[in-house]
Amino acid sequence: MYTPSTTRYKDMKYNRCGKSGLLLPAVSLGLWHNFGSVDVFDNGRSIIRQAFDRGVTHFDLANNYGPEPGSAEENFGEILKKDFSGNLRDELIISTKAGYTMWPGPYGDWGSRKYLISSLDQSLKRMKLDYVDIFYSHRPDPETPLEETMGALDTAVRSGKALYVGLSNYKAEEAQKAIEILKQLGTPCLIHQPKYSMFERWVEGGLLDVLEKNGVGCIPFSPLAQGMLTDKYLKGIPENSRAAKSHGFLQTSDITEHRLQQIQQLNNIAQQRKQSLAQMALAWLLKDNRITTVLIGASSVAQLNNNLDSLNNLSFTNDELTAIEAVLGQKE
């Protein structure tokens, strides 16, 4: 029987999400990897328990997370049933998304009303929930009117199946239009989830300004650049790393000699700050007040704890920021 820590809210930092009434933990847990049907259930369960014990209240999923697609939601539903029944559900922020391929045929992908509403219904069944706290459009659909996609998000809230809605992978101009439509519908956009890290900075070219102007929160995914911003690659490419698996999102070709040199130099700065490279990379994102929370993954309780310890040092000196920018600005 799992009994949550009575001190779970003691050390976590909570940030207001845009101009909403919702507070989110500075670090949230994503279930993109390590929680599917091919993974060890009890390991994922231990990670989620430890996360909650340390004040992580936000758990992020999508319909296709696994593998197999849908299995992360199924496993999370089992963990909720076993460990978070009763009033504990009211201490959790649970999000899911639809927008990438989930089932065969013309109605299992992209941004149609048919797909989004059907997918949300399936997600709720898999997780055994009456509602999710946040439902995202996972990516913009170039073939579907934006009004239709945003109307589906509005319907999700009005039907009681979601409390808030969000966007993911929308560029600045697309996000601005979507935010305006949602505002007109009376279901304001709560949050945007873009890919953002020291090595992936496209959001600085306008998106963060759009979110700030409209009072929308930001939750970067892949804040550690698929593991590159950790100590994993300091000595090259380990056999069991994501980069060594040709079917993954991180390819061996991404780990160039130039990139390895940058990783080493950034690690040196992190050591001077008495942090791991991962901890510094997370803190670097959180230094910006426009960032509500960073979305981490975890394959073990130890890795989770290491990442959460980034909250022990979130401040940077001007010299440190200058040194980091000098490394990131190096040309190949």
pTM for the full predicted model:
0.94
Q: Rounded to whole angstroms, how far apart are CA atoms 249 and 228?
A: 12
Q: How do the pLDDT tens digits run along the chain, 332 residues long?
A: 899 999 999 999 999 999 999 999 999 999 999 999 999 999 999 999 999 999 999 999 999 999 999 999 999 999 999 999 999 999 999 999 999 999 999 999 999 999 999 999 999 999 999 999 999 999 999 999 999 999 999 999 999 999 999 999 999 999 999 999 999 999 999 999 999 999 999 999 999 999 999 999 999 999 999 999 999 888 766 666 555 554 455 556 678 899 999 999 999 999 999 999 999 999 999 999 999 999 999 999 999 999 999 999 999 999 999 999 999 999 87
CATH 3.20.20.100 fits 14-231+285-311, yes or no: yes
Boundaries of every domain in the chain:
14-231+285-311
